[in-house]
A and B are shown apart, each in its own frame.
Chain A
Amino acid sequence: MNTFRLFAGLKLRLIAGNLRGAVERKVGFVFTLIAAAFVAGIGFLSMSAIRFAEPDLAADLGVVVFSALVVGWAVIPLLSFGVDDTLDPSRLSLFPLRTREMAIGLFAASATGAWPLATLIALLGGVVGLSRGLAGALVGIAAVLLVFALCLVVSRLITTALSSALRSRRGRDALAVAAIGIVLLFQLPNVIVNRGVGDPTALLHGAAGVLRWTPPGLAATSISTGNPLWLVPVAAAIVLIGWLWIKALARALVTPDSSSQAASVRGSTGLLDRLMPDGPLSAVVYKELRYIRRDPRFRVGWLVSLVVVGVLAFSQSGGDSTAGPGLVIWLTCLGAVMIGAQQQFGNMFGADGRALWMNAVVYATDRDLRTDLRGRHLAATTIAVPLIAVLAVAAGMFTGATSGILPAMLLGWGLLGVAFGSGALTSVLVPYTIPDRLNAFTGAAPGQGGQAFLGSMGAMMATGVVGLPIIVPVVLGIGWMGVVALPYGVAIALLGEHLAAKIARMRMPEILDAVTKAA
């Protein structure tokens, strides 16, 4: 019990420590509290509101929501690993604690905090919503406590079992990319409902039919039926998972950190590099292409823009036979803008971050910096241009409006150039630090959210406004104007590079400072 109190106190102190930090941290902390209170309130109310649904539907909803909560607890801590120190057992491995004490302590730390409390309150809403009578309510409270414990042990088991992988560079890289999959997973219900695939009630019923036999499903069932027997397997599952967790913990505490063992990379020179004339420009292109392939932040950027376009295309093109060339143009332009709006183009020096000094001690003239910006754009172009072409052709084939393909492609390329030009300017005017450790919740270092917002909004707005002269004619159906779009885009990109290079040379120390803030 002592250990329990000690660790709960430790966690509270860690949380309270946020209040002593800089203003941004305080704001972040208050925001977290508000968000947690909001989730707790909404969760409790909406779970209680299940009471007004038909009993069958209510039972199904309870099963699905309880299962979703457990899945959330399994997945979300993975994304914040490294942010929350209490998740990593290796931080505690040097303290003279027995595994049992450690397990109790970590469990206590998990149970303490705003989000666990919010979960508990939301779960208690389930008692109000599902239980029938006093006996049912008592069973319900027991069930809720069990599901809460289940959430904690499941999340502990997963983070502990994966902790050594999560500490390694490769593990984190893989996770960063996998995080998109997880975000997408949460979007899945949305897409399904939008597309009108089947009847939502039937889908819910089907899902509940399967999930009913999982531990959280059983717990929900026991509340709605008022039968405590269903809780026996739930408790058994908690004991089993808890046992596995303690085993994993014991192993994690004595397993050495393997994160420094590394594999070699292929040292190929690359086709583009061999084709281009030797010099700084091809050096930048070479570096940039390697970064796109190897840095998870770059991979995530490209993947996100593809996924967003894919999801939009999927949800907008469904079953609409009247879609003409307009839709093809719309989708292609959207793709081009999504590619051009990536963080790495609107904050080009931020992408270098703490390595920027290596360039800064070399670049002495406007020309040097222009070469740098152009190299980055060229590298991205070799990927983006074919991609936009494929997008235009695919959209054209899909909708059958093949006449829209060529104007769409040309306009898409032109807009990409406009986006590059605007991005180059925001890169030098509002640079900000992109954290090394990618996490799913923020794209900027603490305190620079404003710059990040300003930068991306600025780039988007500028792209829209500067792009108007080429967008409007093509949208109005003057397809041949697409021919003008490409040179227009290239001109804007060159102009952007030119101005950005001038500003960057004068502001380099300030840019360097802005992109190397402690994250």
Chain B
Amino acid sequence: MTVDAVRTHGLAKRFGRQVAVAGVDLTVPAGSFAGLVGPNGAGKTTTLSMITGLLRPDGGGAEVAGFNVWRDPVEVKARIGVLPEGLRLFERLSGRELLIYNGRLRGLPRAEVAGRAEELLRVMDLTEAADKLVVDYSTGMRKKIGLAAALLHNPSVLFLDEPFEGVDPVSANTLTEVLRRFTASGSTVIFSSHVMDLVERLCDWVSVMAGGHIVAQGPLDEVRAGRSLNQAFLDLVGGGSRDSGDEGLSWLGAQR
């Protein structure tokens, strides 16, 4: 039996009185293209931050490729690539400088890094903007350069928080192509999203979060069980039966 790419048990975090993550047991088999879906505030970002070692959990533990995130940081950090949501990059470096900085920080030789950076910039269609400062990049360009930086050291597990938010269709297509190729080689991608169509199209493994818990998890077909993923999701998180606003908002769309 192969080791799971990610496995957490009872992972928990509270901010003050508010419980953000209430005991998450997330499992992602190695080599899968996994989607972590859930409504806003379900605890997706908090969970990913704890697994990548950026946030200290209040309880429970997390393993990446069999190594404990908090006890074996050397092994874990060498294996993961991360693209958090909304967090900044080193804004005053150019796109190329950012990639080279990242690679060299991880101890890759300069010439090797320069070569990889050049290739990544080309694939991401950023060659023209390579010498502009990241602070001047658009949202889509940021996501692409962030992904390039996360891929540069050839990680075996890639964590992406809302990688497609604010990205135009062309760039999104580029991103998915790169990610598909990445998982085809046996590496693992875990990304959070609330765009069900996208998850349905890309993923072979789905974990559904709601209210700080995992409410369903498994291969895509098993989770959706004949329904569309969107319907399955609404059924799971309990949003399907809610009235669609027939009683309120009567003025909306009325004759002006």
Contact = CB atoms under 8 A, between A and B. Distances in A.
Interface of A: 169, 260, 262-267, 278-280, 282-284, 286-287, 290-291, 294-295, 352-355, 357-365, 436, 508-510, 512-513, 516
A480 to B, nearest CB: 42
Contact of A362 (B89, B93, B105): B105
Contact of A509 (B53, B78, B104, B107): B53
B104 A357 contact: no
A237 to B, nearest CB: 39
Contacts of B87: 354-355, 357, 516
Given A169-B136, A361-B53, A362-B105, 13 more contacts: A264-B94, A267-B131, A290-B92, A291-B90, A294-B92, A355-B87, A358-B90, A358-B102, A360-B54, A361-B54, A362-B102, A362-B106, A509-B55
The 10 A-B pairs at the shortest CB distance, nearest first, are namely A262-B136, A283-B104, A354-B88, A364-B73, A264-B131, A294-B92, A509-B56, A364-B74, A364-B77, A355-B88
Nearest to B104: A283
Contacts of A361: 52-54, 77, 80, 82
Contacts of B78: 364
B200 interface: no
Contacts of A291: 90, 92
Contacts of A352: 90
Contact of A294 (B73, B74, B82, B133): B133
B240 interface: no
14 contacts: A262-B133, A264-B94, A265-B94, A266-B131, A280-B106, A287-B90, A294-B92, A352-B90, A357-B87, A362-B105, A363-B77, A364-B78, A365-B73, A510-B56
B109 interface: yes
A278 B110 contact: yes
Given A265-B131, A290-B93, A360 B53 contact: yes
A287 B77 contact: no
A512 B104 contact: no
B222 interface: no
A169 B55 CA distance: 31
Interface in B8-61: 52-56
A279 B112 CA distance: 12
Contacts of B94: 264-265, 267
Contact of B104 (A264, A280, A353): A280
Given A290-B92, A294-B133, A509-B56, A278 B104 contact: yes
B54 A358 contact: no
Interface string B77-119: 1101010100111111110110011101111011000000000
A61 B166 CA distance: 57
A430 B92 CA distance: 25
Interface of B: 52-56, 73-74, 76-78, 80, 82, 84, 87-94, 96-97, 100-102, 104-107, 109-110, 131-133, 135-136, 138, 149
Given A169-B135, A279-B107, A355-B90, A290 B97 contact: yes
A355 B90 CA distance: 5
User: Dominant SS at the A interface?
Assistant: helix
A365 B90 contact: no
A266 B88 CA distance: 22
A431 to B, nearest CB: 15
Nearest to A291: B92
A330 B225 CA distance: 78
Nearest to B112: A278
A287 B106 CA distance: 14
Residue of A295, A355, A360, A365 contacting most chain B CB atoms (<10 Å): A355
Contact of A357 (B54, B96, B131): B54
A359 B132 CA distance: 21
Nearest to A264: B131
A355 B82 contact: no
B133 A357 contact: no
A464 to B, nearest CB: 32
A516 B86 CA distance: 11
Contact of A359 (B53, B74, B105, B107): B105
A194 to B, nearest CB: 38
B54 A280 contact: no
Contacts of A354: 87-88
A355 B136 contact: no
Contacts of B132: 262-265
A357 B84 contact: yes
Residue of B53, B100, B105 contacting most chain A CB atoms (<10 Å): B105
A358 B100 CA distance: 13
A509 B54 contact: yes
Contacts of A513: 55
A516 B82 CA distance: 17
Contacts of B149: 358
Nearest to A297: B92
A305 B121 CA distance: 39
Given A267-B97, A280-B107, A282-B104, A260 B138 contact: yes
Contacts of B74: 364-365
A513 B50 CA distance: 13
Contacts of B138: 260
Contacts of B91: 355
A280 B136 contact: no
Contacts of B53: 360-361, 508-509
Contacts of A265: 94, 131-133
A319 to B, nearest CB: 44
A352 B3 CA distance: 36
A284 B105 contact: yes
A509 B84 CA distance: 14
A355 B89 contact: yes
